[in-house]
Each structure stands twice: as C-alpha cells, then as structure tokens.
Structure 1
C-alpha cells in the first residue's frame, strides 16, 4: 500500500516479480504464446501476473542482432523478463528490465546486438535528486551499467511481460525484431553509448573542479553580503550626519548650550560662596588669636 502511494507521488519504487509467477514458470505451469518477428502484439495483463512468449530465431538473425521491446501508451508499469529453459522444461529467470517513462509512453527493452549494450537504472538517482540536486547530477550516470547478455544463439527463446501496476491491469504492446534492417541505428547506439561512458569519466573530474569553484563562490557570496551591509551602514550614517544640518538641530543645540551655561554659572556661584566662608572663619580665628595675645601681654610677669 505504501509503495503504491509513493509510486503515485513519483517516487520510484524497486519491485520484484511475484514468487508465484516464478514458481509456476520453474515448474512449467505457464501458458506460452508464440511471438512472430516483426508482428507487434497488443494485450492487457493483470497486476502481479505475467504473459509468456516464445520467439524462434535463425542463425542469420542471431548474428544480425535481436531486439525485444514492450511499451505502454497508457504509461502502465511493466517488467520485461527473459527466461532460460531448464532440462525439465521449466523456465528460470535470467534478466529483467523495468519500464521507464520515455516521452509519452513507458517502455522496456532488451537489445542483443553482439556488442556490450548498457541499461540505465535511474531509481537511486531520482531519490538522491530529491535530497541534493547537485550531488545527483554528478551521480546521474552511475546507473549506466552493462547488460549481462549481449547476444543470443539461434533457437527458441522465452520472454514474459509482467504487470507491475499496484492497483489495476496493465495495457501493453510487445514486439520482437531482427536488427538486420537497423544497421545504422545499431552503429548509432554503439557510438552514443561510448560517448556516455566518456562523459561519465568527465563528470568525475568535473565534480572536483565544481566543488572547488563552488567553495570559492560561497566565500565570495558571504563577503559580498558583508560588504553590502557595511556600505549600507556607512551611507545611512552619512545621511544622518547630513540631515543634522538644519535649523531645528541648531535650536536644539543652542537650547542645550544655554542649559549647560546655567548649570555652569550656578556651580560657579556655589563655588564662590563656598570659597568665601572659609575666609571669614579664618579672619575670626585670627582676630580672636590677636586678642588673646594682647590679653597675655598685659599680665604682669
């Protein structure tokens, strides 16, 4: 239930093929339908169920290359499965490809072209992108990994389409193709995948350079903010000083100076009075002292 909700929200959820389907295939209890080359087949598969197909190719077709694709215009979730036939006639799972959104459809494919072909698993990258877009960019090609099987031998091969929807059946179209008429596309695929591999190496080097420049940019951005604040404060102070040149400011200053003068004058008067009092006391003491001396002089010896 939770996986279905996350899938609806666009969060990729890695799912597995039902154990029931795998057991039935292993015991040979599945219905297998022939799939002719070059003849697309449209069907609908129930959720958690699979439709099995057999494809027979000649030696010439095997050497030219073989492709099996499944797609859904309704954007259903699908799995394309490839099985190996056991000695008892049962089928064991060898490969699986999960469908992904490509334009207006969801699709999955297996390409057996005689040279290394790569698959692109973006499940982990999409989760990482939600947390850190920059880091996800440098990890974007980490899911570009080679497929396990590059070519098929002549004979009969077995594929299946698995309904990977959580709540409803999945509509799909499956087709098997010989790659002989697609020689130009074959070379184009080889070249573009080689370029992707080179780009993955370049990304690793670019990541180091990017982080160094990003650190410098972060430092410069911080300094930019600090310098801007300092300039704004200086300009604000300058404006305040210029605004102080006004009559109102002058009146305030003159009123303030008068009050200061009054207080200073009052303090000076109080100081003078305090200075006068000691002089009177000294004169009195002096007179008393002189008088005392005169009295002593009049006494007979």
Structure 2
C-alpha cells in the first residue's frame, strides 16, 4: 500500500545499535518501535533545536535506526549479521523543507528537477501541532472529494476526517490524492493518541503517473505495497542494468492493511520547493469497486512473485553478461590478429615483383624502371640508333 513512515535515512558517522538508539528491546513490537521513534524524532527535530548541532546529529541517528528497525527485511538482516548486511550507501537522506535556507532550497529544487530523488521529511511544527490536537479538521465523507492548495512545509497543512461504519470498514477503504498540476505532495495518515492529539502513522509520497501526480492509501484487508523510487537510487545510477533489476526492490509493504469503524485523520502536505501544491483528495469504499479490488490483489501477488524471479534472473544474467564480455573481447582480439596476419601476407605477396614504382621528381608522373635483368638495350634497337646517327654523304646531315 502507498505507505511510508516519516523518516530520514542519513547514516551517522558512528553507528550505534539501533535498539540502543531508540531505547527498545530486540523483541519490541513494530508499534513500540514506532512510538519510540516518534518521541525521539520530535525531541531532536532540527526545527526545535536550531542552535544545537548535536541534536541534529541525534535526529539523524534516530531516523537511521528507525529506517532499519521499521523495515522487516532490514531488521532481519541486522539481527542476523549486523551493519555489514546493510548497504548504507543506498539509503537516502530526507530533507526538511521548512529547515532549508534559500540557497539550499534552490540546489534541492535543481536536483529534483534533474530527476535526482530527494526525500523530504515532515516539518516538526506540523507534527507537534497534530500531536497537541491544535489543528482544524475538515470532514471528508465517503464517496466525496475535496480540492485545495497547500504551500510547501507550511505549519498548518489541511487535515481531513474520514468517518466509516462497520460495513464500510469490513469492505475496505481507499483514500487517494491527485494533482492535475503535477504538484509534489505527501498523503499522511494520523492515528489518534491517548491525549487527544494525532500521531503520524503513515506517509505516502506522490508519484507521477501519466499526466498527473498521485498518492494513495489502500486499507483492503490484504497486503498492498507502495513503490519507493528512491530505493537503490545510487546503485541504479552507477549501473544502468540495475535500473531494471532493482526496479521492484522499491516495493515496501504497508504497515496497516485495514481500518476499524470510526473516524480517521488524513492530511495533504505540500512538497513543492517554491510553489503551492494543488490537489484533490477523495475517500472511497471498496464495496463499489469489488472487481477492481480483486484485480489489485492479484496484481500485487504477481508483482511480488516477479520480484523474486528477477532476483534469481539477475544472477543468471550477470553470469551470462560476464561470459558475453569475455567472448566479445576475445572476438575483438582474434579479429585484430587475423587482420594483422592477412596484412603481413599481402605485404609479402607484393614483394614478389621485378618492377618498382618510383616518383618522378620533375613532373610528378611515374615511370617504370627496368629490373636488373633488362637494363641493356636490345641489339636491334642499338643498330638502328647507330645508323640514324651516321652523317649523310654529299655533306648533308
């Protein structure tokens, strides 16, 4: 499902045990890890610690640790082997737009324009206001849509409440946001805390699909995946073939596959660098889309199988490619060798001749010089020349 935790994945210089960083045990549940992360991320967020560089580093460390423990596969790898099993270079750093200066914002916008994947994190002000419950929430009834605009990283982003009954919860709920202006944004889902506020639970970044940008959350009682295009971005940049083989590695399982009856809070967070994000948000009940829901379930399973197939095929392909490179190199070497041998052969053949072609320095024309065996003039020709050169009788010449 289109879900994503609010996280930064910049690895600190000194990497401590992620469990130690988040102050959780190795058998902690996903919810316990998420709760610990929220508390620490809000405590060390750069917005709240502008004059404390140490807090910024702690924020990165907390986010890096959470990026490991919140991902089932990364957590398993770390528990088995440690940091060695993780490719730190493939983890991308998130940027807080509200914490960027003008110059840095320009550079970030430029890289984004060039297609370099840049993640952005949620402003601490937005998280804190939601957690304190000091926000205005607009109703978003099932089967309706609402359009609006939101500026990048503004303190108050639009919050919407979606109220569902037992039947709707059982059928499944879909919340989608689209932008015909191709704005960048995040779709957020908040869970209600005990103190009456809202804690960020899921985050989905918009992706360009056709002529629009869109993001969706699908609570359909089966595992739906989101596609994170920034996963393995560095590896893909270094290896063109990886753009294909790593494409499905961005599939990330959603933490929440269903909603209970009651009221649920969603929000649209502006992710553009210099302008407002125009959007339309809608809430739907899957009961009206049973065929579509079944097709989504089938295609998700097919894509997951295809990802496993690609992992196996990549190994086969890499071996075949290495062999191809080997024989291609040998082909070039053999071709060069054959060409050189034939060239030498032609040169030797041309040595078998009694004539030489020389350049006439006076007029640039060529003339043939007889070989050693033909240097003497023929007798008949010498006799004719002798007679011609004799003086004629009677004094005539």
TM-score range, shorter chain: 0.7 to 0.9
Q: Which residue of 2 aligns with 1:92?
A: 199
Q: Which runs of 5+ in 2 are unaligned?
A: 1-104, 358-367, 376-397
* SS, match of residue 158 in structure 2: strand
Matched-pair contact (CA < 8 Å) for 2:130–2:199: yes
**Residues 134 and 31 of structure 1: CA distance in aligned 2, closer, same or farther (over 3 Å):** same
* SS, match of residue 15 in structure 1: strand
* SS, match of residue 249 in structure 2: coil
Q: Which residue of 2 aligns with 1:199?
A: 306
**Residues 195 and 253 of structure 1: CA distance in aligned 2, closer, same or farther (over 3 Å):** farther
What does the per-residue CA deviation read over 1:51-86, in whole Å, with 9 as the maximum and x for residues that have no partner? 100011110011111000001111111000000112
Is 2:184 the partner of 1:66? no
Q: Which residue of 2 aligns with 1:55?
A: 162
Q: Which residue of 2 aligns with 1:170?
A: 277
> Which of 216, 223, 228 is residue 121 of structure 1 equivalent to?
228
Matched-pair contact (CA < 8 Å) for 1:11–1:127: no
Q: Which residue of 1 aligns with 2:120?
A: 15
Is 2:239 the partner of 1:132? yes
Which TM-score applies when normalising by structure 1? Answer: 0.81
- Which range is displaced more, 138-147 or 13-22? 138-147
Higher RCO, 1 vs 2 (CA within 8 Å, ≥6 residues apart): 1
Q: Which residue of 2 aligns with 1:25?
A: 130
> Which of 318, 327, 347 is residue 240 of structure 1 equivalent to?
347
Q: Which residue of 2 aligns with 1:143?
A: 250
What does the per-residue CA deviation read over 1:145-165, in whole Å, with 9 as the maximum and x for residues that have no partner? 210000000111000000011
CA-atom RMSD in angstroms: 2.0
Matched-pair contact (CA < 8 Å) for 1:12–1:127: no
* SS, match of residue 29 in structure 1: coil
What does the per-residue CA deviation read over 1:154-202, in whole Å, with 9 as the maximum and x for residues that have no partner? 1110000000111111001110000101111111111111111111111
Counterpart Cα distance in 2 of 1:11 and 1:110: 25
**Greater helix content:** 1
* SS, match of residue 248 in structure 1: coil
Counterpart Cα distance in 1 of 2:266 and 2:222: 21
Q: Which residue of 2 aligns with 1:102?
A: 209
Counterpart Cα distance in 2 of 1:175 and 1:57: 14
Q: Which residue of 1 aligns with 2:139?
A: 34
> Which of 195, 213, 218 is residue 320 of structure 2 equivalent to?
213
Counterpart Cα distance in 2 of 1:188 and 1:72: 24
Which TM-score applies when normalising by structure 2? Answer: 0.62
- Which range is displaced more, 62-71 or 208-217? 208-217
Counterpart Cα distance in 1 of 2:354 and 2:163: 104
